[in-house]
Amino acid sequence: MRIERMTTPRVSCVLAGTKTRPPLLAEAIYLDTETSNNYDPETGEGHTWIYQWAFRWCRQYDWGRTPEQLLDALQRIDDANGLTAYGMKCLIFIHNASYDLSYLMPYFRNKYGGIGKVLATAPHKMITFEAGPWEVHCTYRLSNRSLYKWGKDLGIRHGKKKGLIDYGKRRYQDSPLYKDDWVYQLYDVLALEECVLSEMVAEQDTLRSLPLTSTGYIRRHGRKLAKAAHDWADFQKTRMSVDVYKSGRFAFAGGLTHGNRFVCGDIVDLEGEGRERDFRSDYPSQARCHDLPVGPWTLFYEYEPGLTISWERIREWESEYCMFITVLIGPAMLHKGETLPYLQISKCLLGAEADFKVTIEDNGRAIQTEGFAILTFTEIDWEILRDQYDFEYFRVLRVEASRKGPLPDWLKELIDFYYIGKTKFKNEKKRLKESGAGAEAIRDADISLTKSKNRLNGIYGLCATDMVRQDFEVDANSWEWTHPMLTEELIEEKLAKFYRSRSSYMRYAFGIYITAYARKDLMDMYRLIGPENFLYCDTDSIYYRSTPENEARLDAANEAKRKHAMEIGAYVEVDGKTITYDAFDPETGKDGKPLRIQRFIFLHAKAYAYETDDGELHCTVAGVAARDSKGYTREQELGSLENFKAGFTFTRCGSTAAVYLVEEPQIVTVEGHRISTAGGCVLIPSVKTLHDEYDRDSDFTYAEEMSKWEALYG
């Protein structure tokens, strides 16, 4: 690595401005800071500060110890290039910019008399930040992964020196720094520069055209295809009114994640008959294999006294229309034998009447309710609910419908392009490994595979992006984050802007229906597995007890899926083979055979563990990292399946909690050291203690609940 300190801060190339954007310097700054603190979580007192920083600029470095030195270095670039004088901008790339900016924003504000536009998805979750001639972009949002993994995926020459320094050691702005400290810091900005430049070369981008987020790549590709297909008129036909949009927001739900309440907290001995199956490219499959809303949205029915509609009438519409159905439901009771209840309590509470109450709850889902609630669902969801629950009373209040049909051809092309890439590069990587090919060839195939997988999955994110995005603003004086309330007037204004923009082309309703179909697919497989054999599910996978009967049913369902996919053209050709969408495939072990699970346990959603027949332990817990900075895994920390119980604490693999300190730029003395500080973000190691969602002392068995249901229903 060649180290040259910045001596020539001027560049000659400028990217021309546009109607809405000023001229942009053709060189960017790649910045990173290192921080320390003496914050005490118990008292809430202390300070945090930058003790080291460095950036890359024109293949040169600059570095320093304080924020003031950083601002001086940026000023030299400003002066040499006339940024402020000529109204130009210069990009600054920072990985996880929200963290670094929490330290730097007050200094930028004081230097330039305020801050400019801030684009954020939530408080302290910034994508871009502007102050003076500087426009900061967050490369974590561009890459959607850590800098270490980003560099590894791209195969850059100088990767991040992960674990080289002790992150917990307190350092001050006058502390001596040693070789490892500077190697770590300089490699951070070098790796960042190489990652951004590699992405730009691969995607043929300039600093002007580089997307802000990882979804931007797939958004750009889709926009190009939609434009070539002259899709604008069809897109406008799917326009949503404020009422339809609000119904869609209420109807939208994510993946179904739940466990069988009768075995919660128990180690289930499966004697090698435990299995896991996953849906193949689940969300792309739902999009390619089902009809979605493609026509105008129309109000089909609205309740008036004396004007009622039967469920049979709604069923008649299902063959031709997708529907948002709003209903008033009365007391609900789950049918006997159901181990995967569907009714979300959060959905009920959104429209709960004063007398509504959940009398029996199952980890966020309702088994029994009292009183009334108003809910909005798709016809797909409502069919599942009617199949699982008895409602003492229900009345349809509103039905909004759109003609259903297959995806536009350009969107099929987009999905197929990345599905082919995912399959092709997966096969290529396997072939190269088996043939003993060199590491570079395998790495190139792996990079292409990762990109295809990420962008294939990103298509759903594109479909599910809310048209009425919440605006988050930060006050430059108090640093408080606020967002305006979404009134009907504001929703109408944002919808009008969305449909007016020639950059818009995706139908939000597609995202609503893709997840609805995915939930139905999962519920259908749950039925074939059998409620008594079901253990746990998470969006696109199910863990269950395997029997000859349910395996035969699942295999038959897979064959039906394959035939349907072939009939509608939901397949691709890769290396002379036909690969269909929409299959429920067995998860395989290292030997390529179906995974055999010996023992399984879950505590609640996103908290489960199991052992395979080779004795290998697997563990997944939300908020617990797969491994710590030194490579120590959560399975190593757990130790055994017997430890997976309420009260066990993950310390090494626990996550972090962010605490934001807000101060004016000032000089303080900490343990005899003069420190320049303006607050910042303190990441406090956060342990994760397992808990049980159920009261084990008053638990009930499957047989006991069956008896209860028999008494209720006869």
Q: Residue 697, exposed/middle/buried by CB under 10 A (0-12, 13-18, 19+)?
A: exposed
pLDDT band for position 703 (50/70/90)? Answer: low
pLDDT at position 655: 78
Q: Compute the distance between CA of residue 259 and CA of residue 536 in angstroms, rounded to an integer.
A: 4
pLDDT at position 387: 94
> Does pLDDT of 431 surpass 90?
no
**Mean pLDDT across the stretch 70-90?**
94
> Does pLDDT of 345 surpass 50?
yes
Q: Compute the distance between CA of residue 539 and CA of residue 131 in angstroms, rounded to an integer.
A: 42
> Does pLDDT of 647 surpass 70?
yes
For the chain, helix, strand, coil in percent to 5 are 35, 30, 35
Q: What percent of the chain has pLDDT over 90?
A: 74
Q: pLDDT tens digit string along 604-637?
A: 999 999 999 888 999 999 989 888 877 889 999 9
> Does pLDDT of 159 surpass 90?
no
Residue range(s) defining the domain that contains residue 122: 14-213
Q: pLDDT tens digit string along 461-476?
A: 999 999 998 889 998 8
DSSP secondary structure letter of residue 340: S
pLDDT at position 434: 80
pLDDT at position 302: 94
pLDDT band for position 12 (50/70/90)? Answer: low
**Mean pLDDT across the stretch 652-679?**
91
pLDDT at position 349: 87
> Does pLDDT of 491 surpass 60?
yes
Q: pLDDT tens digit string along 21-35?
A: 899 999 999 999 999
> Does pLDDT of 698 surpass 50?
no
Closest CA to 277 of 580, 450, 454, 521: 521
**Mean pLDDT across the stretch 685-714?**
58
> Does pLDDT of 110 surpass 80?
yes
**Mean pLDDT across the stretch 313-338?**
94
Q: What is the mean pLDDT of the chain?
A: 91
Q: Determine, yes or no, domain membership for 628.
A: no
Q: pLDDT tens digit string along 437-463?
A: 887 788 888 888 888 998 999 999 999
Q: pLDDT tens digit string along 507-521?
A: 999 999 999 999 999
Q: Determine, yes or no, domain membership for 49.
A: yes
Q: Determine, yes or no, domain membership for 300.
A: no
> Does pLDDT of 420 surpass 80?
yes
CATH of the domain at 125: 3.30.420.10
pLDDT at position 693: 66
What is the number of structural domains in the chain? 1
pLDDT at position 704: 54
What are all long-range contacts of 386-390, with beta carbons under 8 Å and residues at least 24 apart? 386/311, 388/334, 388/335, 388/338, 388/341, 388/342, 388/343, 389/332, 389/333, 389/334, 389/335, 389/342, 389/343, 390/332, 390/333, 390/335
Q: What percent of the chain has pLDDT over 70?
A: 96
> Does pLDDT of 709 surpass 50?
no
Q: Determine, yes or no, domain membership for 59.
A: yes
Q: Determine, yes or no, domain membership for 565.
A: no
DSSP secondary structure letter of residue 643: G
pLDDT at position 712: 43
Q: Are 193 and 56 in contact (CB under 8 A)?
A: yes
pLDDT at position 681: 95
Q: Determine, yes or no, domain membership for 164.
A: yes
3-class secondary structure, 240: coil
Q: pLDDT tens digit string along 219-248?
A: 999 999 999 999 999 999 999 999 999 999
Residue with token string 């202390």 = 46
> Does pLDDT of 55 surpass 80?
yes
Q: Determine, yes or no, domain membership for 41.
A: yes
* Beta bridge partners of residue 668, listed in sequence order: 675
Q: pLDDT tens digit string along 527-546?
A: 999 999 999 999 999 999 99
- Higher-confidence residue of 311 and 583: namely 583
Q: Determine, yes or no, domain membership for 166.
A: yes
